[in-house]
Chains A and B, each alone.
Chain A
Amino acid sequence: MELYVETDEAMQLLGQRIAPFLSAGDVVYLQGEMGAGKTTLVRGIARGMGYAGRVTSPTFTIMNIYPNEPDIYHFDFYRLDHHDLPDLGLDDYLSGEGVVLIEWPEIGMEFLPEEAMVIEISLIDDDYERGRKVQLMPRGLYFVQKIEEIEKQCSF
């Protein structure tokens, strides 16, 4: 599934549309270069899941927890090296109690679950001032079905 997102607000709205399809235990990988809009999309997903608090970049903190029903675990591996990942205690958060949203997952894919929804955000013509291309890609049958459902409901 591929969409064109014009503005920050539209990116947030897309997150809000994706949110109802995510449940406890789901893992979402957010890929795209610095400034692409990964945190903005996460903010939309959190809003859509009913979390009204602040959603900030976890680049320095590595992880933000948004208390919600279910909880939202917002990770950012940007500053990490893949050697760091086994020591992070990730398993505590991947055990199914919350929705896990990971920015820069490519840094440690080998330590992360196979089954996930991959969202890739790309600049258009390498220009930050233009819109973004957003692709939703499934890993595993469960997410194939989820993305089909999202596609049916999302008419952007």
Chain B
Amino acid sequence: MKTVPDIKILGIESSCDETAAAIVKNGRHILSNVVNSQIAIHQEFGGVVPEIASRKHIENITLVVDAAFKEAGLKYEDIDAIAVTNAPGLVGALLVGLSFAKGFAYALGKPLIAVNHLHGHIYANFLEHDDIEFPAVCLIVSGGHTSILYMSEAGHYEVMGSTIDDAAGEAFDKVARFLGIGYPGGPAIQKAAAEGIAGKFVLPRVFLNRKNFDFSFSGLKTAAMNQWKKNNHENNSVNDLAAEFQTALVEILSVKTIRAAQECNARSVLLAGGVAANSELRKMMKFKSELAGLKVYYPSLKLCTDNAAMIAGTAYSQYSKGDFAPLNLNAYASLLSL
């Protein structure tokens, strides 16, 4: 019997705040996964300084790539291809990872593979689960994105709806900052909400009853801030407001996603992106999916937030198809298509 050789792909990600590198074997086995988390820096400054500058990525990139090789116990020449995020993101930030990947690919004589950051987030589910059935509906929810996608098969995405103003993760961060409970906003709200009671404050479920799959979180954010301004800030009110805010968000996200899945006769529901780490959202999606006879999947916490393992994993099917990028590959700020 002929054995199929293992394919090891180096993934590089620098689209936003994180500089990350990882090596994944055969699109499934994570040999290393290094993220230069800058959260410690954010917290020092009260939550608004992401050190997003390209300069920071330049300082980090060789360190995280070397750490990824060390963690995997591999040498440069052991990898078969280099995958890199080239959209969407901040162009200056993307270009750091992209230029590094190109140089690396050229020097090693290995192919370069371009990966869309959002495809990576969705693929995080496939890194850890091999029983996902199609068609599937995916809720991708993070600081910069909130969309419901329809997937007829692996690698095919159709947008069913998305936010018309703020992303859910942004609403979490801004409300947390307004309430003065810390950064990042998702975990801070989750922690405060666990000590509070939803329903003591009443926030609107914006767009919940609209038939389409769009979201609007800007009004929910200002409603929460307004209630806080008018409140006398006594007893447990900050936790109660956090609880109501989280409940409203989770309800809107989960109800709309399940409704979308039912409308297109999906068999699976996927969660992806940083906000997919929220435990209430995971719990509610699981509950509602099972009630509707759907199987629900979400990545482990480490793979919800930005990382490069999802980039290296996504690239595997492109590698198999010989879908390689030229060395003049460009970076794009916006999503040209899904």
The closest CB in chain A to the CB of B57 belongs to A87
The closest CB in chain A to the CB of B227 belongs to A128
Chain B min CB distance to A89 (Å): 4
Task: Bin the interface of chain A by size.
Answer: 20 to 34
Interface check A114, CB cutoff 8 A: no
One of B3-11, B77-85, B162-170, B313-321 contacting the partner = B162-170
Whether B166 contacts A81 by the Cβ 8 Å rule is: no
Whether B50 contacts A56 by the Cβ 8 Å rule is: no
Chain A min CB distance to B52 (Å): 6
Interface check A78, CB cutoff 8 A: yes
Interface check B54, CB cutoff 8 A: yes
The closest CB in chain A to the CB of B41 belongs to A81
Q: Interface of chain A, helix or strand or loop or mixed?
A: loop
CA distance A63 to B222 in the complex (A): 22
Assuming the A-B contacts A39-B165, A56-B167, A78-B48, are A61 and B88 also in contact, with contact meaning beta carbons closer than 8 angstroms in the complex? yes
Query: Which of B48, B91, B222 meets A79, CB within 8 Å?
Result: B48
Whether B45 contacts A87 by the Cβ 8 Å rule is: no
Interface check A152, CB cutoff 8 A: no
CA distance A57 to B143 in the complex (A): 10
Residue numbers in B under 8 Å from A63 (CB-CB): 90, 333
Taking beta carbons and an 8 Å cutoff, which residues of B are in contact with A? Answer: 16, 45, 48-55, 88-92, 142-144, 162-167, 169-170, 173-174, 177-178, 218, 221-223, 225-226, 229-230, 333-334
The 10 closest A-B CB pairs, nearest first, are A60-B144, A87-B53, A128-B226, A60-B143, A35-B222, A84-B53, A81-B49, A89-B92, A57-B166, A61-B144
Would you list 19 pairs from A and B whose C-beta atoms are within 8 A, ordered by A residue? A34-B225, A35-B174, A35-B218, A35-B221, A35-B222, A35-B225, A54-B162, A57-B170, A60-B16, A61-B333, A63-B90, A64-B334, A65-B333, A79-B50, A83-B53, A84-B53, A87-B53, A88-B53, A128-B229
Known: A34-B221, A59-B170. 6 other contacts (CB 8 A): A34-B225, A59-B173, A61-B16, A88-B90, A88-B92, A128-B223
